[in-house]
Structure 1
Amino acid sequence: MIQVRNPRTGELDYAIDPLDALRLAALATDLRDRQAQWASRSTTERAEMLRALGATIARHADAIGTALTIDTGRRAISRIEVEGTARTFDRWAGLAPDLIARSTGEARPSATPGVTVSTRLVPYPLVGVISPWNFPLTLALIDAIPALAAGCAVIVKPSEVTPRFIRPLMAAIAELPEVPLVVIEGDGATGAALVNAVDYVAFTGSVATGRKVAAAAAAAFIPASLELGGKDPMIVLASADPAWAAQVALRASIVNTGQACQSIERVYVARQIAEPFLSALVAGAQAVRLNAEYIGSGEIGPFIFVRQAEIVQAQIDDAVAKGATVLAGGTVEIVGGGHYLRPTVLIGVTPDMAIMAEETFGPVIPVTVFDTIDQAVGLANGGVFGLSAAVLARSPEEAEAVAIRLNAGAISINDGSLTAMVWDAEKSSFGASGLGPSRMGDSGLLRFVRKQALLRQTGTALPIQAYAEDARR
């Protein structure tokens, strides 16, 4: 058994029994059997069942939401997760039939005379999903739902840090046994075994673990989608209103206590507006409330994973030791057993500091002042990550001229962290931020199918004599 910590109280008040490799193998065999019938259904039938499952999860919202709230120590975002998941089922149910039809199409003449060509989409039989602890429900199902819509069966292994939602979620899933979806309890060893049991793996998490998943997938000779870490920069141009820019930067940096891969973790501001920007940013940061005393108020919850609090504090301490100055926040507080950090603003940071080079995953905003746009772009493009970025300016056109110079898969223009809200724009992860097709847009579903070409000879098949050395050509 694995004991699970409560992020608000610090108590070990829950336990899970990780699935071992033998039980996992048996489950995979059962799901493969179920997948054949699932894939044989029409796209419309599958869509109707997915809609029904989304509605069922919505009916179980109280139980799932309560478990998520305990898992994460925050209530409002837990409710958003449950509501958003139900909508995601509905959205893919609406999109999948037409998308699959458009991707197959009618038979067409080939460029080779006498041959017609048509395309079938063949789903991977079994998809494995390994998901993280920061948005437990959303990230458990963000890959699973389109995979189901494509005709796959799915096993999901959420993080052992936040497993309480699994049992109420499985109670909802059990009401629709036709849908080949199972969510299991497990740890890192379970995740490693899962890679060897499936035909496609979708992983969301750290770069270090992502590298291990990629290596295991390569050894198993299966494809992998890897959505990994980020160190997202924001460039604030001189034309931007400093008070507005500070408000956008603050929100984009600290939502969910900064525990989001698309959080802004580096801010580069033009010298012309640096002083009013920093003044507004510090004032905004100091006005943000912890929800330590009462979960129903405040904007900053506890660190979900206590080890993350230690990592963030170590990065702040390293920056200060190397010459950075703390203008707000800066110290992890322990309240009632939970670990909290008020929004932290740092200046005097340099690229060699851990807080500027490594993913922070906390409510920390390091600010650097720049003199030229070339300098800002160079700083923003530094490092190994390339998940997303943001540019703020007076006009979208001015911001876009800078945005297209950034090495990142998605750029928010005159806003921050829009990738958390926009689901229909395909994007690639640059650098160490990931590998594989986009989980957004049409690719979110189409990555889970293989294309099979049917080549029909409508004329006369060539005899072997056509390849004779003395054949006329």
Structure 2
Amino acid sequence: MRAQTASPALFANLVDDVVASGSDTVAVSVPATGEPHHDLPRSSAGDVRDAVARARLAQFAWARAGFAHRRRVLLRAHDLIMQRTDLLLDLVQTESGKTRGQALEEVFQAASVTRYNALTARRVLRGRSVRGGIPLLLTTRVRYAPKGVVGVITPWNYALSLAAMDVVPALAAGCAVVQKADDLGALSILALRRAFIEAGVPEAVWAVVTGEAAEAGEALTDEVDYICFTGSTATGRRIGEKAGRRLIGASLELGGKNPMIVLDDVDPERAAADAAYACFSAMGQLCVSIERIYVHRRIAGPFQRALVARLRDAKVGTGLDFDADFGSLASATQLERVRSHLDDAVAKGAEVLVGGVPRPDAGPWCFAPTVLTGVTADMRVHAEETFGAVASLYVVDSDEEAVLAANASDYGLNASILTGSPVRARRIANALEAGSINIGEGYRGSFSSVDAPMGGVKASGVGRRNGREGLLRFVEPVTVSKSTGVLPLPTTGAEFKLLGGPFLLLARVLKAIRRA
């Protein structure tokens, strides 16, 4: 096994960057050992308010620095991310328990998001001229003003990439950020932030706080000008309600119970490989991972056998290398959640096709990737998000039955279609109720497409990250209209009487020539 690039001295150095005025800390355990690994400072509500106040002052200069300056800074940060790949991979693996390959997805995503926003922000946000209300008499331009201080609340499961997808576009738009990091992902976030600070982002422009949601999270939502949250639907509803009362915007990416449809024209072995990864990357602890598989009856037998064989033979481990196919659950809490869903399903008649047991030989929180069949509506695993190492397999008799079953959920975050027919894929994709749809694989196509919006429908959230939409959420459009002086606008009854006819004629002419 290769030597770890991170060290206890680095951990202590990174946690010093947390905005925390007191001496309170929490011991954070890691999946490889289950034992305490480092102490993380706790931020109070007062610390959060102070961080927002400092960010508000620093944001004015950051916004005035302009797009060209921010572009240079973000591109330098991109290069530092690439230079520190091994360190970031070690930190992501240490905190989350995922494999090195799955950690590599995070580092790649963070770099991609940084590069995209650095190169795209000016084109999207520089403003534009639009048609004035009265041609020749009025000119109108729309400019975009940064919203100010953005609050970002990110979870532990994809700490690096989810932080980048919210923080970097906010910085590119000229906003400042105060981010509440989850305890289990704080080191990765702090290391990412360190690259941006060294690249030229002022320290107060991106501050990191920690602590309990009831204190630090509530204080953050009370103070900022816009809030981004990734996490459970229940918590997202509360944050959205608070944001609504304050009349500030919110971007909420919430839960999912994501379906995969496997049609009868696929290669079973290839489909099983795609399904296994889509379900158990990061051991299912990903908002867009697959938890429900709907397979056509004509291919159900060979697909099921291939899936069982692949998962039975997969290597589970926690080493800081590329040896393992699947990693660990992130905490004892996650392990208990998986056990709870599994025990409930088995007690009510579900059958375990593969897995279903802990893997203490691989790590204290490791669990064998588990596929169930015979799942019914009275089981928790049927409709409730497990967010862990359990997926359910259902057999369907038609494309239409698969679509109806896939859409029969309160959630609508991601969906997947495996088929050899572009026509069938397109028809089913148009019928699915989800914010992202992947054809030919599980989630990585849409997740990695940083030029395209990402988000959910129904109980999976509101708002979008990535793409133009991901930038535009951090600005307020301001309309600036100017009278040209060619002809004064009417201000008296007599002037309206004189000009009313020409104005109405103008409206008819504009419609006739299809001018909006």
Pick the aligned partner of 2:459 from 432, 455, 469: 432
- Counterpart residue type for residue 291 of structure 2: E
Counterpart check, 1:228 vs 2:254: yes
Matches of 1:91 and 1:384, distance apart in 2 = 32
Pick the aligned partner of 1:12 from 36, 50, 56: 36
Matches of 1:467 and 1:118, distance apart in 2 = 31
Pick the aligned partner of 1:345 from 364, 371, 374: 371
Partner of 1:150: 173
1:140–1:157: 8 Å Cα contact kept in structure 2? no
Matches of 2:345 and 2:61, distance apart in 1 = 57
Report deviation, 1:169: 3.8
- Counterpart residue type for residue 145 of structure 1: V
Partner of 1:24: 48
| Superposition pairs of residues 53-452 of structure 1, within 5 angstroms | 53-74=77-98, 76=100, 77-101=102-126, 104-106=127-129, 108-111=131-134, 114-179=137-202, 180-188=205-213, 189-292=215-318, 297-335=323-361, 338-417=364-443, 418-436=445-463, 438-452=464-478
Report deviation, 1:166: 4.3
Report deviation, 1:219: 2.2
Count of aligned positions: 470
Counterpart check, 1:36 vs 2:65: no
Matches of 1:344 and 1:407, distance apart in 2 = 26
Q: Describe the superposition over 1:359-395 as per-residue Cα deviations: whole angstroms up to 9, x where unpaired.
A: 1112322111111222222111112000011112221
Report deviation, 1:242: 2.0
Report deviation, 1:443: 0.7
Report deviation, 1:465: 2.9
Matches of 1:318 and 1:186, distance apart in 2 = 32
Report deviation, 1:177: 5.0
2:99–2:317: 8 Å Cα contact kept in structure 1? no
Q: Describe the superposition over 1:87-131 as per-residue Cα deviations: whole angstroms up to 9, x where unpaired.
A: 322221112222223xx2236443466111101101111111100
Pick the aligned partner of 1:46 from 54, 62, 70: 70
Q: CA RMSD in A?
A: 2.4
- Counterpart residue type for residue 223 of structure 1: G
Structure-2 change in CA distance of 1:174 and 1:247 (3 Å): closer
SS in 2 for 1:352: coil
Report deviation, 1:468: 10
- Counterpart residue type for residue 136 of structure 1: A
- Counterpart residue type for residue 229 of structure 1: G
Report deviation, 1:29: 1.4
Matches of 1:419 and 1:169, distance apart in 2 = 23
Q: Taking structure 2 as the reference length, what is the TM-score of the superposition?
A: 0.85
Matches of 1:428 and 1:66, distance apart in 2 = 28
Matches of 2:103 and 2:441, distance apart in 1 = 23
Q: Which runs of 5+ in 1 are unaligned?
A: none
SS in 1 for 2:55: helix
- Counterpart residue type for residue 199 of structure 1: D
Structure-2 change in CA distance of 1:23 and 1:256 (3 Å): same
Structure-2 change in CA distance of 1:393 and 1:62 (3 Å): closer
- Counterpart residue type for residue 52 of structure 2: A
Report deviation, 1:420: 2.4
Structure-2 change in CA distance of 1:452 and 1:470 (3 Å): closer
Report deviation, 1:202: 0.7
Structure-2 change in CA distance of 1:428 and 1:136 (3 Å): closer
1:74–1:295: 8 Å Cα contact kept in structure 2? no
1:292–1:335: 8 Å Cα contact kept in structure 2? no
Structure-2 change in CA distance of 1:472 and 1:31 (3 Å): closer
- Counterpart residue type for residue 316 of structure 1: L
**Residue range with higher mean Cα deviation, 71-80 or 351-360:** 71-80
1:200–1:223: 8 Å Cα contact kept in structure 2? yes
1:288–1:342: 8 Å Cα contact kept in structure 2? no
- Counterpart residue type for residue 451 of structure 1: P
2:117–2:168: 8 Å Cα contact kept in structure 1? yes
Report deviation, 1:79: 4.2
Matches of 1:434 and 1:318, distance apart in 2 = 27
Fraction of identical pairs, as percent: 37
Matches of 1:251 and 1:458, distance apart in 2 = 61
1:344–1:365: 8 Å Cα contact kept in structure 2? yes
- Counterpart residue type for residue 465 of structure 1: T
Matches of 1:60 and 1:249, distance apart in 2 = 31
